[in-house]
Structure formats: structure tokens, C-alpha cells
Amino acid sequence: MADGSPVTRFDPYAARAQFPILSRTVNGKPLVYLDSAASAQKPRAVIDAMVRTMEGSYANVHRGLHTMANETTEAFEAARESVARFLNAPAATNIVWTKGGTEAINLVASGIGQTLQPGDEIIVSEMEHHSNIVPWHLLRERRGAVIRWIPTLDDGSLDMAAYADLLGPKTRIVSVTHMSNVLGTINPVRAITEMAHAVEAQVLIDGCQGAVHAAPDVQAIGCDFYVFTGHKLYGPSGIGALYGTAEALEALPPYQGGGEMIETVTATEIRYAKPPHRFEAGTPPIVEAIGLGAAIEWLSQFDKAAVTAHEKALYDHARARLNGVNWLRVIGEAEGKGAILTFTVDGAHAHDIAQVMDRYGVAVRAGLHCAEPLAKRFGLTSSARASFALYNTLEDADAFADALIKAREFFA
């Protein structure tokens, strides 16, 4: 576990049984939930931790001296410690609570933006989620920054040679995804970081998918910032975290003003708190943070390699079931990719495919997946996406293939 306890043998059926919602039916069929890349479901351990806090020991954190305030503060800060262990951060003080990955990226962009000069360059990739594009566009509009784009190759991998050519003396920050939410591509984030640091640029890694399915070891990666969100990591929504090195966080100005993020306030001056509290203005998402801590502790009981192998087996099984069909286009087949299957079907809109599959209880996502530049790169106006998680089974993979074949027959 995250505290160093031995991991347990991974049994996907036992893990699935810990998710109450997965026992329900949809349209009279057993639910096959393949939309975890958007939001994962929550195990009983997370639900119980949040309910237990609200029912038995809830108070505001840090500011009280009474028993319940102390109990809640201890649980809240214990969750921060869980995040630090999960990411292999040097200390809990490297972890800033945010509302999610989006706010974490905006926090960093806002801080760095205050020192950007016109012509300074920001490097992102074509496969980024809008949350890792729009904050940098705001700096382009407001500060005159220049955004430069790492191309995506036909198989869905990054063009690392092109990336090397983009780096230069004007590069201020490189901000890339650990794992694409559309392609499933797992990027070489350590190499990306080393190359950026060689030109004295900072690096932010969007780990909203990578924290779940890759290896979120921030010290091994060497990045300046790493962000992730709770709701994709089997935790609640409304909570996420920003990791920053001590030096990177100390250099950032406050993101928001209010209580908690100050040392003193007078009529004529403000002295700000040290990180991480400098960036946590106001009452934080207390129950959600405790829920995320519970999710991390729950997830950490499983052998990471076994979970990854299980998810890959499901992806491979689904692909094998669909081998030979001439109406299916799979988007993204980079070596070592995660278990995300994004596809189009000849003669049918992705939205229609998703709706027909829902009739059979199979939940997939359809649209641009908040990655419009990537869709344009592959000539797509929409695509469907099945994303496998640790609680999915071979029966789910078969149900997906069966439902997709039936949906195709519906529009043939």
C-alpha cells in the first residue's frame, strides 16, 4: 500500500465487487462501464470515508482548537501525505490541493504568466486536452506568448525529433500529457523533461490519465510540476492536486487571495504563507480531499504491474474480437499505449454508435473528447472511445465488441 504495506493479489472480480454502482442495470442489461477516462466509478472505501467524515467528524480545518477540527485536520493532511507518497514527492509540502487538474494547470499558468515577456515560447503537443491548451492560449492573448506545437505521428506517438527542434532559448515552459485521453499514448515524460531542462525551461506534466494508468513518479520524471484529478483516480470530483518542486512552488505568486494563504494582513501590507498553503485560499474541499486520500490508499493495495497487465489484456481482447472488420478505424496505436480504444465506424456518426451501444448497457463516450487539435490532426469530426479500468472484465470486453457489431449492423 501507499504506506509501504504489502500489496494484495489483484483479482478484477473482487475489485469490481467493491463498486456498488457496477451492480446496476441499464436498459435492462448489466452495466458495462467503459467511460472511466472521463470519470471513474467510486469504490466502497471512498464512499465510506466521505460519509464517515460527514457523519462523525466534520469541521473546518487548520483554524480550530476543538476535537472535531483537530480530527478533520489530521484526516485532511493525512490525505495530502497519501498524495505525496503516491507521486513519490519528497514531502507533503510539495502537494497543493486544487479543484482538479484544470485548476492546477491554470494555477501554474497564472503564476508563470506574470513574468512572461512577449515572444516567450510555450511548447505543448497536438494531443493535449483542452485543459492543457486553453490556459496557455490565455497567455498568448494577454502576454504575447508564442505557443509551439509538438506534432503527433500517424501511430499516435509524439514526434520527438520535431520536439527537439522546437526547444530553444525562448522556451519558458513545456506542458505535455503523461498519457493521452484519446490515443492512450504514454509519452516519454522523463526524456521530454531532460530535454527541456537542457534549455532551462520548466516542465509541467498533465497526469490526469497518467496518474491512473502509468507511473507517476515525479522524482524519476524530474518535472517541475505534475497535476492530476481525483475523479479519474476512483476518487470524488471537485478535488485534484498539483505537485511542484520546492523551488518551483516558491517562485510562483499567489493564485487567489483569501483566508489561509496569508501569514499576516494589515492595512498596508500582506505577507503570504509558504507553499502549499499560499495557493489554498479559503475553505478547501475537505471531504473530497479525504475521499481522494481514501481512493489512493485503496488503489495502492494492488500490484500496479498486475493492474496494467489486466487492462492491457482487456484492450487486446476487444481488438482481437474486432480483427478483420473493414468498417472500423482505430485512432492511436503507439507501442506501449494504455487501454483506451478510440474509434470511428464507417457510415455512422460516433454519437449514434454510442447511443445504440447504450441500449445494450455499454457506456462509451463520443465526441471530440476535449482534444480538438488532435481530432483535426486525424481528420475527425467525432469519434467514440472505450476506456478500460481495473474493474472491467473479459465479459465487459466481449459485451463491448458484441454491442459495437450490433450497432454497426443497425446502420449498415
Tell me how far apart the alpha carbons of residues 400 and 395 are, in angstroms, rounded to a whole number.
Answer: 9
Determine if the peptide bond prior to 276 is cis (ω within 30°).
yes
* Cell matching residue 220: 524519476
Catalytic pick from 116, 239, 370, 374? 370
- Cβ contacts of residue 259 below 8 Å, gap of 6+? 281, 282, 283
Main-chain phi, psi angles of 319, to 5 degrees: -65, -40
370 is catalytic: yes
Q: What is the pTM of this model?
A: 0.96
Q: Which of 333, 330, 211, 230 has the alpha carbon at shortest distance from 289?
A: 230
* 28/206 Cα distance (integer angstroms): 38
Q: Give dist(CA 248, CA 137) in Å, integer.
A: 22
Query: Domains, the chain, ranges and CATH?
Result: 48-299 (3.40.640.10), 303-411 (3.90.1150.10)
Could you read off the pLDDT tens digit of each residue along the chain, which spans 412 residues? 455 555 567 999 999 999 999 999 999 999 999 999 999 999 999 999 999 999 999 999 997 789 999 999 999 999 999 999 999 999 999 999 999 999 999 999 999 999 999 999 999 999 999 999 999 999 999 999 999 999 999 999 999 999 999 999 999 999 999 999 999 999 999 999 999 999 999 999 999 999 999 989 999 999 999 999 999 999 999 999 999 999 999 999 999 999 999 999 999 999 999 999 999 999 999 999 999 999 999 999 999 999 999 999 999 999 999 998 999 999 999 999 999 999 999 999 999 999 999 999 999 999 999 999 999 999 999 999 999 999 999 999 999 999 999 999 999 8
Specify the DSSP class assigned to residue 232: T
**CB-neighbour burial class of residue 264 (10 A; exposed 0-12, middle 13-18, buried 19+):** exposed
**213 neighbors 339 (Cβ within 8 angstroms):** yes
What cell was used for 135? Answer: 490556459
